[in-house]
Amino acid sequence: MTDSANTRTGRFKIRTSALRAYTMLLALIVIWLFFQWATIDQYHPYGLFLGAVNFSKLLQQMAVTGVLAVGMLMVIVCGNIDLSVGAVVGLSGGIAAMSQGWGVVPSLAAAIVVGLLIGAIQGTLVAYVNIPAFIVTLGGLEAWRGVILKLTKGATIPVEHPFFRSLGRDFIDPRIGFGLAIAGIAAIAWTNIRRNRARQRHGLKVLSAAAIATRILFPSVVIVAFIFLMNKAGGVPIPVIFLLAVALAGSFLTANTTFGRYLYAIGGNPDAARLSGINLRRYILAAFCVMGALAGLASILHTARVGSASPDAGSLMELDAIASCVIGGTSLMGGRGTVFGAVLGALILASLDNGMSLLNVENWAQYVVKGGVLVAAVGFDMFGRRKA
């Protein structure tokens, strides 16, 4: 047991979950380089894809799916599924648009509250009435879409309020962007140093100064480069700020709280979780509530970006969110997956969408490629695990 700390930071031993994340990161880089090469023309001698303007657009496109994927991850990790999120995005967005007369803050709050309520209803049916999540949310997918049609009478409602619109379309001031970058780097440095002190206090192996410096430096470089790139295109898009906040919060919730640990335990072995004193129902309900609230937030970003709420808004978004999780290494059986992976999955899907559109790939081929990538990602995973 003496070399445990070594193993954690060891040079050659990489945990399998980390290995999976590196593979996906590598796949993303290959996809990016391919599109960058494929979009070289006389006007863009270095390629168009990763240019500031296009990259900014790509991130805006993925924000909604990314937010949903974070919620979906929690639902899937505890062994469930939510097929209703697309319809919830439509309904929450419709209600936000319809209630603009109350003022912008109440209308935005309404969207989130509606999402949360729907999550609570569906979560209760799953956790306390023992109806399988697949059935409950399949019913939700139909029913909530019907409620939208009833409420909006089938009409598309424009977003009037400029602040509402700005949430989907505007950018934060480049100076604020830099401020956030500095705050982020400071936070990373502080947690790393504090963590190391804590390890010392608990008698665990302490990291060397060089190791800590790398752990601080590498993400800092990524953050600064990201802010520079975004600021070239007018600043970080507001939806991307929301996505980053949701991803950070989701990451913390799943990795650093008892709530997160219980979700993984419930998905990994419900019997063992129950006998360890975990109240399964409470945590499954909570996961659905988080998913619902995030669907409400996603509906705001989506409605603001499109500029109106239409009755069919959000259709098929649930499948993009599930696909993001799965591409990012989440097991549909529960117990396995990370927020980082789910967001990475959303980024891969958005990159494929954006890149293929730039190349004018025909619509039918785009669907085929995305479907193929989904199946291939899981196929590689299974293949890798069988060998291991």
List interacting residues with another protein (CB under 8 A): 1, 3-4, 6-8, 15-16, 195, 198-199, 201-204, 256-262, 264-265, 268-269, 271-279, 335-336
Distance CA 325, CA 341 (A): 7
Treating both helix axes as pointing N-terminal to C-terminal, what angle do 52-77 and 258-268 enclose, rounded to 10 degrees?
70
C-beta of 5 vs 30, nearer to another protein: 5
C-beta of 178 vs 259, nearer to another protein: 259
The least CB distance from residue 165 to another protein, in Å, is: 37
Distance CA 61, CA 81 (A): 23
Distance CA 339, CA 337 (A): 7
The least CB distance from residue 74 to another protein, in Å, is: 15
The least CB distance from residue 164 to another protein, in Å, is: 33
Sequence-distant (6+) residues with CB within 8 A of 379 are none
Residues present in the chain in total? 388
C-beta of 176 vs 211, nearer to another protein: 211
Distance CA 251, CA 223 (A): 17
C-beta of 198 vs 376, nearer to another protein: 198
C-beta of 166 vs 208, nearer to another protein: 208
The least CB distance from residue 201 to another protein, in Å, is: 8
Nearest Cα to Cα of residue 247 among 19, 82, 109, 69 = 69
C-beta of 101 vs 277, nearer to another protein: 277
> For the residues of 6-38, what is the DSSP string, one character each?
HHHH-SS---HHHHHHHHHHHHHHHHHHHHHHH
Distance CA 93, CA 99 (A): 10
The least CB distance from residue 255 to another protein, in Å, is: 8
The least CB distance from residue 4 to another protein, in Å, is: 3
Query: What number of other Cβ atoms are within 10 A of residue 47's Cβ?
Result: 19
| Burial class of residue 309, CB neighbours in 10 A (0-12, 13-18, 19+) | buried
C-beta of 94 vs 337, nearer to another protein: 337
Q: Where are the alpha helices (DSSP H) in 78-132?
A: 85-98, 104-127
Residue where the block lists tokens 């969408």 = 353
The least CB distance from residue 187 to another protein, in Å, is: 15
